[in-house]
Amino acid sequence: MTTPSGPRPGARKRIVDTAFRLFYARGPRGVGVDTIIDEAGVAKASFYKHFPRKDDLVLAYLDEVDRTWLGQLRACARAAGDHPAEQLVGMFDALHSAARREGYHGCAFINSAAEASPGSEVHARSVDHKRLVRAWVTDLARRAGAADPEGLARQLTVLLDGGLSAGVLDADPEVAASARSAAAVLVAAACPPARASTP
């Protein structure tokens, strides 16, 4: 069954889903367009209609990672409680889930940025993602009553990125628990006790 707009959305989704799987496992540079076309089961003309350049597909992949990872962070933050201070610590549960996933290769944005030239669209998209996450964490820190919300957000996002990397380099999914414990110490020190406790 096709949608009213025809088979294009199906083809595009197959291409992006295939790219998501292959780019995350091997890195964008490690996967050729022909491999994606073959594994997605689309015609070459259809591929280039949706993605005239390989970088267009890499950007679509990063957009998908952005939606997925931010969704996981926000869901774990909400699950930790209603207070922003609890949510600042709870978001680290997303790191715990990610590091335990089969085929875990760390942060897709860090990996893609490492392959891209500074100033390129792919590098810029990776930087934008990190800024977006930090802005969200800064807002939580501000609502938690942190004296220096920007400083706390920077500490927590550096800890989050470090946890994403260490989960791969150390091959130890328990590194996420260490990152969460460190986050709890940082949040407790930065937020007033009355504001950091559960209402």
- Which pLDDT belongs to residue 101? 83
Residue 159 predicted with pLDDT over 70: yes
> How many CA atoms are closer than 13 Å to the CA of 64, on its beta-carbon side?
18
Average pLDDT over residues 129-150: 97
Q: Which CATH code, of 1.20.1250.20, 3.10.20.340, 1.10.357.10, 1.10.287.130, is assigned to 55-190?
A: 1.10.357.10
- Which pLDDT belongs to residue 194? 47
Domain with CATH 1.10.10.60 in the chain: 1-52
Mean pLDDT estimate for the chain: 90
User: What does CATH list as the number for 1-52?
Assistant: 1.10.10.60
Residue count of the chain, please give it.
199
DSSP output for 54-119:
HHHHHHHHHHHHHHHHHHHHHHHHHHT-SSHHHHHHHTHHHHHHHHTSTT--S-HHHHHHHHSPTT
Task: Read off the pTM.
Answer: 0.86
Domain with CATH 1.10.357.10 in the chain: 55-190
Residue 92 and residue 95: Cα distance in Å, rounded? Answer: 5
Q: How far is CA 22 from CA 18, 42, 67, 76, in A?
A: 6, 16, 18, 26
Residue 6 predicted with pLDDT over 60: no
Percent of the chain with pLDDT over 70: 92
